[in-house]
Amino acid sequence: MGGDSEPHPSESVLVVEDDRFIARLLQVELTGAGYEVRLASDGVEALEAAFERCPDLVLADVMMPNMDGFEMTRRLREDPRTEGVSIIMLTARGLAADKLEGLTAGADDYLVKPFDNEELLARVRGVLRRAAYMRAVSPLTGLPGNVRIEDEIQARVRAREPFALMYLDLDNFKAYSDRYGFVRGDEVLRSTGRLIRDVAKAVAGPTTFVGHIGGDDFVIVTSPELAVPVAEEIIRRFDALAPTLYDAADADRGYIESEDRQGTRRRFPLLSISIGIATTQVRAFQHRAEVVEVATELKNFAKRTAGSSYAVDRRSA
């Protein structure tokens, strides 16, 4: 238990408070607890500090001159450099509307003034602990890894809420890596991860879950009615991206030559993506393993089609 209460040596907090006395008290308390602390007096100054070096946590007052905490939070969330930062808002009013506006703007938690030091540190530890858990991710793509993926699917199964699991797999990736090397292969995976995340967020909204199983395998957990639109947009964008990942001569030719798994040299088409979709619209699942099995089966079915494609499970249990 003791390990949860100790801050990680690299954890930093940006305190945004226009009252110098309160800012100093917060700085002393957080520094004493082992955090690295920087100060900003308003939202504008906070954005400059965060964009220069993103902290692990922003602890910000709501009412500030020049730019209030709500607007500052929205801007932090909109910028790729700071979109993942943890944010706790401080408010002098405990009104439900204020709390809702803060959470809607993108805050992770809020504290109503006055608060005691123990509550402050407990909230800070809690938010940073959740952020660390969310960062249990693929080091290559920055997307949640296997543990988070399993937890996400099982949580949906346990809640008995409608959802779709999309299993995405690149076609001809081994041939690409053999031809161009691991460095360019890793860049393909990073680009694919960004593409999948961006499409899922744009088409299905921020609550859609995107994970990286490993290698060239990814998953999306979204609502059943949005799975096909997400799949179609991913395929459209990936097919536009794929030729740009090759040397010009190979892209123009439309294939590369490489050895298959049996050591036979043959031609491989350009990268494509296959997607299998399992959904609660046609069957109920009792365990995450069932969902994964169905999605994997559909993904393998989609891979039989040349080029990018998706397959949806439409069989009743």
Tens digit of pLDDT for each residue in 74-132?
A: 999 888 788 889 999 988 766 656 667 777 778 888 888 888 889 999 999 999 988 87
What the block records as the tokens of 295 is 């999605």
Residues carrying CATH 3.40.50.2300, the chain: 2-134
113 to 51, 117, 161: CA distances (angstroms): 28, 11, 37
First and final C-alpha spacing in the chain:
44
Can you tell me the distance from the alpha carbon of 37 to that of 49, in angstroms, rounded to the nearest whole number? 12
Q: How confident is the model at residue 230 (pLDDT cuts 50, 70, 90)?
A: very high
Q: How many residues does the chain have?
A: 317
- Assign 66 a pLDDT band (cuts: 50, 70, 90): confident
User: How many angstroms separate the Cα of 280 from the Cα of each of 161, 227, 251?
Assistant: 8, 12, 39
Per-residue pLDDT reduced to its tens digit, 261-275: 788 899 999 999 999
**What is each CA distance from 198 to 205, 223, 239, in whole angstroms?**
10, 16, 15
pLDDT given for residue 239 in this prediction? 98
Token reading at 55 = 């902290």
For residue 4, is pLDDT > 50? no
Superfamily of domain 146-312 in the CATH hierarchy: Reverse transcriptase/Diguanylate cyclase domain (3.30.70.270)
CA distance 17 to 75: 17
Residues β-bridged to residue 265: 259
Q: Which residues contact 44 (CB under 8 A, 6 or more apart)?
A: 66, 67
Q: What backbone torsions phi and psi does residue 37 show, to the nearest 5 degrees? A: -120, 135
Q: Give mean pLDDT, residues 297-317.
A: 92
pLDDT at 9 over 60: no
What's the pLDDT score for residue 100?
A: 73
All CATH 3.30.70.270 domain ranges of the chain, comma separated, are: 146-312
For 236-290, where are the E strands, in sequence order?
255-259, 265-269, 272-279
Closest CA to 277 of 229, 212, 239, 242: 229
Q: Which of 188, 162, 190 is nearest to 173 (CA)?
A: 188
Tokens of 299: 């993904």
pLDDT reported for residue 49: 95
Q: Provide CB contacts within 8 A for 248, sequence distance 6+.
A: none
> What contacts 79, CB < 8 A, 6 or more positions away?
51
Angle, CA 65 vertex, CA 97 and CA 100 arms, to 5°: 15
Q: Are 315 and 279 in contact, with CB atoms under 8 Å apart? A: no
pTM: 0.61
Its CATH architecture, for the domain 2-134, is 3-Layer(aba) Sandwich (3.40)
DSSP state of 267: E
Q: How many CA atoms lie within 13 A of 152 on its CB side?
A: 25
Residue 2's pLDDT is 37
Check residues 49 and 8 and name the one with the higher pLDDT. Answer: 49
pLDDT greater than 90 at residue 296: yes
Task: Tell me the H-state helices in the chain.
Answer: 2-5, 20-32, 43-52, 69-78, 96-105, 117-134, 146-159, 173-180, 182-199, 224-241, 248-253, 288-303
Residue 15 clears pLDDT 90, i.e. is over it: yes
- Specify whether the CB–CB gap between 283 and 299 falls below 8 A: no
Q: How confident is the model at residue 3 (pLDDT cuts 50, 70, 90)?
A: very low
- The mean pLDDT value for 200-227 works out to 94
Task: Indicate the SS3 state at residue 66.
Answer: coil
Flag the least confident range among 35-39, 158-162, 251-255, 313-317: 313-317
Mean pLDDT of the chain: 90
Give the span between the Cα atoms of 309 and 113, in whole angstroms.
54
Over pLDDT 70: what percentage of the chain? 93
pLDDT score for 5: 46
